[in-house]
Structure 1
């Protein structure tokens, strides 16, 4: 999908996906239109860049969708969104105050592409506990999926407060 398709067509796909309870994985041809990228990542359960597609990457993305997990936002897409002037920069302190330290830690691991099952032993809680923290983060940040929450957290600088060290 490219931004040449137009926002109206994207909105039509969004409505149809919601009506049919479909999960969506968008394959983007380019990052030329950041507003298109931002809009599409809000309703999609995942984004993949055409240039980044490998058999393993697509297989993993489709498996995560099937398990009803989120497909993480590609780093280049997150970077593109962050470069937008004033992109959701209002209120980082307010959002930071809403999240507990444990929620920030979970959000940090989500941003590194970990699943709930992988996060649980890293922070010493059950997988169910991680699921509860993810649900709290989504609610507090008013996000519909994990990808959107990570994108918003990156834009607002919320991940800088984590005690966790980045994965290599």
Structure 2
């Protein structure tokens, strides 16, 4: 029997934390190991509790969730994936969270099943963005408009340890379209295990921690 997924809940509203705890702890494979009401508490508890996944609010006293995410990701002793869970569907929160190292972005008006799915996906080492959020990431980092005189000038170079193969490039392109492993497998007529292998190689070559970071890097550097 595998160990349950260890989750740390971070939100300055006790009732929301209680609701999230109830949703998650009825799942046999998830346990909530702690709660924090500020970003500073989250940083301290992440170091002590070593959670697998952290559900992180943005607007909190003392330290906001974006800065807390940045500090937790930078801590060598912590290996938690962080999902930003916020009321505010704002681009500045979204892109700041991704830049800080978050692996997921979820709105608080999402269904309980979305929260459970996000925890499981992040614990498995993948990232999770809603399709509409992924489209905004694509728009943010998409190729500059044709009206620009130097369309490649704004693309910073990304040096890969090893070039992507043609198949890996195809898989990366489909990742930017928010496709699941099963959807990618069906599109390319290959098995899901093969898709997972390609994604693992893509992450390694890009130096990305998960598929969300891979998508951001790919779009930012013109790889997709």
Runs of 4+ in 1 over 6 A off after TM superposition: none
Task: Give the Cα separation in 2 of the matches to 1:2 and 1:132.
Answer: 34
TM-score of the pair, normalised by structure 1? 0.67
Which structure is larger by alpha-carbon Rg, 1 or 2? 2
Residue 57 of structure 1 and its aligned partner are, at CA, apart by 4.2
Which residue of structure 1 aligns with residue 180 of structure 2?
A: 115
Residue 6 of structure 1 and its aligned partner are, at CA, apart by 6.8
Q: Does 1:65 align with 2:122?
A: yes
Task: Give the Cα separation in 2 of the matches to 1:69 and 1:33.
Answer: 20
Residue 134 of structure 1 and its aligned partner are, at CA, apart by 0.7
* Total equivalences in the alignment: 151
Alignment gaps of 5+ in structure 2:
1-56, 145-151
Q: Which has the higher strand share?
A: 2
The structure with higher relative contact order (CA 8 Å, sep 6+) is 1
Q: Taking structure 1 as reference, are residues 38 and 62 closer, same or farther at Cα in structure 2, changes over 3 Å only?
A: closer
For the residue of structure 2 that corresponds to 1:158, the secondary structure is coil
Q: Does 1:48 align with 2:114?
A: no
User: Is the CA contact 1:34–1:81 (under 8 Å) kept in the aligned structure 2?
Assistant: no
Q: Taking structure 1 as reference, are residues 103 and 48 closer, same or farther at Cα in structure 2, changes over 3 Å only?
A: same
Matches within 5 A, 1:14-93: 14=73, 19=77, 21-28=79-86, 29=88, 30-32=90-92, 36-40=96-100, 43-49=101-107, 53-55=110-112, 57-72=114-129, 74-75=133-134, 77-79=136-138, 81-82=140-141, 89-91=155-157
TM-score of the pair, normalised by structure 2? 0.53
Q: Does 1:125 align with 2:190?
A: yes
